[in-house]
Amino acid sequence: MALPDAPRHGRCVRAAHPRIARSLMRPRRLAPLLLAIAGCALRPAGEDEERDRIEAAGRVYAEDAAAPALPGAPSVEDYLRVAFAGNAELRRRYEEWRAAIEQVPQDSSFPDAALSFGYLMRGGGMKAWDRTTLGIGNEPMVMIPYPGKLAAAGRRALEEARAAGLEFEAARFDLQERVRAAYLDLALFGESIRLQEERVRLDEMKAAQAHAAVGLGRAAPEAALVARTELDLARSDLESLHAAVGPARAAMNALLGRAVEAPVPLPDALPAPRALPRTDAEVLALGAERNPALGALARTVAGREDALDLARQAYIPDVSLSFSLTGSASQAVGAMATLPLRLEAIAASIRQAEAGVRAAEAARTQYARDLAARFVLDLAVLRNDERQVELFETAIIPRIRRTIDLARAGYAAGRTDFAALLAAERTHIDARVAVARLRIEREKALAAVEAAAAVDIETLRPAGAQPAS
């Protein structure tokens, strides 16, 4: 996944003294210089834009933001609005993004300045001012790094923040897929219960007919027992469906960030199928371009490249500056520089950073391959379900309905018995159950494709289509 080009330089949010070299030659100007350096940070280009994205994404979490509520008959879009605001895992990802961006100023700032004070207790007649020593320098335990090191560290932190932002986006689309799947499960339970209730009514009629036939001596006694057993099994299946609704509601409430016992109505009908207005090849290309998890790995690679740049700069010495004065008697300027003599350690850190870059690149490559395989699987499921639904709706179910019409006519004419008519009706119910499951499976596969491609299917137009004016 290609990253947008960005300048590889930083910006100092507090400029130091404009004549640094001359200041070093004038001790009294060194103190303001050290203070200016301590307040300077080499912030990378693009940080402000990333902070703007964080602010925009966090509006739903603002303290004064009203929490969305579910209407009486919620649609899947209503569920998504509540989930995006209330899901704690998504909120965790957002807060990690916010935390990551705050690492940028920490990594790109110069060390603090340190003030020192000394007083000569026995001055032998010296004035108090002449016995006083004031000093300023950088922190004793922290050297002043070469600016390029701070710039590289800031860029690395920014790439990590960008990766965290893309991980938040990936979590958001993952939550969207899970909420859609939970809604589809509820819709399937509702449809299955309605169809099973029809089956129970058929079995009740069959049991009553068998009981009457046995009473009239037209059927063997075991026929009534068989019909009663089938009715009990059908009622048990209906109760099992009702029992499974509770856990499905709890799963939806968990995604929404609500109490598990909060009411969640079953949809009155299966949702209308959503169209996928792109070819499979176009969907694969879209996923490779837009998938946020793949983008996060690309940002990780960029961050590790900045870490490699930082490791290579370990050969550049760090410095320490100080200035002190003792009353009106003396002024002193001090400077110290590190000698990068740990050559083996520096070389090892460079090799470690290079290996980190290669590892991140390998992770990105493998994820891209896995993502393509996932698209192939989901699209295969989607297309196969579409094929089967079309077969049922255009051939099998019309044929079953024709069979029912013939069975009714035959029963009215006395050519067939009531059991044959009921068997045809049961076959019709079985076919409708199969279609419902196929449609739900197809919509789940589409939701998975939508999440992996990081796009709302409703916003897609066929390739080459012009937007409506």
**What is the tens place of the pLDDT at every residue in 196-236?**
999 999 999 999 988 888 888 877 888 889 999 999 999 99
Residue 6 DSSP label: -
Question: Which residues, other chains included, contact 270 with Cβ-Cβ below 8 Å and sequence gap of 6+?
Answer: 187, 188, 191, 436, 439, 440
Q: Do residues 431 and 396 make contact, with C-beta atoms less than 8 angstroms apart?
A: yes
Measure the CA–CA gap between 69 and 30, rounded to whole angstroms.
61
State the pLDDT at residue 45: 92
| Secondary structure of residue 53 in the 3-state scheme | helix
Q: Higher model confidence: residue 124 or residue 159?
A: 159
Report in angstroms the alpha-carbon separations of 334 from 23, 320, 378.
13, 8, 68
Beta 10-12 vs 42-44: how paired, if at all? antiparallel
Sign for the pseudo-dihedral over CA of 148, 154, 155, 157 = positive
Q: Where residue 308 falls among pLDDT bands split at 50, 70, 90?
A: very high
Q: pLDDT band at 333, cuts 50/70/90?
A: confident
Domains of the chain: 40-457 (1.20.1600.10)
C-alpha distances (whole Å) from 157 to each of 10, 74, 111, 198 are 12, 42, 17, 61
pLDDT bracket for residue 362 (50, 70, 90): very high
Look at residue 469 in the predicted model and tell me its pLDDT.
44
Query: Any residues with CB less than 8 A from the CB of 264 and at least 6 apart, and which?
Result: 186, 249, 252, 253
SS3 label, residue 332: strand
Higher pLDDT, 464 or 371: 371
Letter string b/e over residues 53-82, b meaning 16 or more CB atoms within 10 A of that residue's CB: bbeebbebeeeeeeebebeeebebeebbbb
Q: What single letter denotes the amino acid at residue 204?
A: E
**CB contact at 8 A, 134 and 324:** yes
Considering the entire predicted model, what is its pTM? 0.85
Arithmetic mean of pLDDT over the chain = 89
pLDDT band, very low/low/confident/very high, at 23 (cuts 50, 70, 90): very low
Please report the pLDDT score of residue 466 as a whole number: 54
- C-alpha to C-alpha distance for 294 and 316, rounded to whole angstroms: 35
Which of these ranges, 152-161, 204-213, 372-381, has the smallest mean pLDDT? 204-213
Q: What is the pLDDT of residue 17?
A: 40
| DSSP output for 185-206 | HHHHHHHHHHHHHHHHHHHHHH
Other C-beta atoms closer than 10 Å to the C-beta of 376 total 12
Is pLDDT above 80 for 193?
A: yes
DSSP β-bridge partners for residue 188: none
In sequence order, what are the beta bridge partners of 326? 133, 330
Distance CA 341, CA 401 (A): 88
Phi, psi for residue 104 in degrees, rounded to 5: -60, -55
Determine the average pLDDT of the residues in 323-343: 88
Task: List, in order, residues 6 or more apart from 120 with CB less than 8 Å away.
Answer: 126, 131, 132, 133
CB 265 within 8 A of CB 74: yes
User: What b-and-e string marks burial along 21-35, b requiring 16 or more CB atoms within 10 Å of the CB?
Assistant: eebbeeeebbbebbb
